[in-house]
Amino acid sequence: MRFSGIDIAARGITARGARGCAFAGVSLEVAAGALGVIVGPQGSGRTSLLLALSGRMRLVAGAASVGGYRLPEQARAVRRLVAVARAEPAAGLDDELRVRDLVAERTLIGPADRAAIAEAFTLLGIEAASDSTVAQLPPEQQALLAVALAAAEAPAAVVVDDIGRGCGAEQTRGVWDSLATLAAHGCTVLAASTDVPALADPVTVVELPHPAQRDQIPLPQE
C-alpha cells in the first residue's frame, strides 16, 4: 500500500473558536510522507489546528500551504487531499456501530473498496472482530481503526487527534509505531497528543501553550 504524500507548512496561523482564540501564531513544516506531532494540554487548540490544516476550519491570520494549495483561499482543494480520521466532536466513529457496519458504510459513501480497507487494516495492525462495536474495542484499536478507515481512501495526508487517549504506555507506543509505518508508506500524517512520543526517528513536534497563556494573545481584527 503506497501513498503520494504532501508537504504541510504554516507560518503564524491563528484561528478563532466559539469561545475566542482557538490557537495563535502557530508555525510548522511537515515534509511529504513524514509524521508530524502536535502536543498540548486539553483546550490548547490541538483539534482546531488539525481541522484548520485539513481545510475544515477558517484561519483569521497567518498563511498555510497544504500540498501546494493555500489556506484559507483553497480550502476545498485541501479537503480533497486530507482525510480526518478523528477530531472529535467534528469527526469520529460512532461507538455503537460494529466494525463490519463501518466497513460497509465506507464502501458505500467513499472511494475505498473492501480490498483497500483490508489492506489498511493489515498495515496498521487492526485486530478487531467484525461483529465488535467501536465501544467494545480497546482504546488503541479504536484510534487505529479510525486511521485505517481514513487511509483506505488513499488520501495524501491523514490527521488524527487524541493519540494515547485511554491507553497505557505500551499501547500508546504501539499506536505511534503504526502511524510511523503509515508515514513510511508515503502518507503524510499529522497526529495530536498530550505528550511528546518516544519514536525511533526524529519528527516535527509543535507544542501548543496552555489555554491560560494562549488566551492572553489578542486576536486580529477580521
189-204: per-residue pLDDT in tens? 999 999 888 887 878 8
DSSP-assigned letter for residue 116: H
Contact predicate 136/60, CB 8 Å: no
**Number of neighbours of residue 40 by Cβ within 10 angstroms:** 22
Helix (H, G, I), strand (E, B) or coil at 52: helix
Per DSSP, which regions of 67-105 are E strands?
A: 69-71, 82-86
User: For the chain, what is the radius of gyration of the CA atoms?
Assistant: 17
Q: What residues of the chain score a pLDDT lower than 50?
A: none
What integer pLDDT is reported at residue 31 of this predicted model?
96
Query: Class of the 8-215 domain?
Result: alpha beta
What integer pLDDT is reported at residue 16 of this predicted model?
84
What integer pLDDT is reported at residue 35 of this predicted model?
96
What integer pLDDT is reported at residue 221 of this predicted model?
56
What integer pLDDT is reported at residue 215 of this predicted model?
58
The predicted model scores a pTM of 0.89
Beta-sheet strand order (sheet of 59-66): 20-30, 8-17, 59-66, 69-71
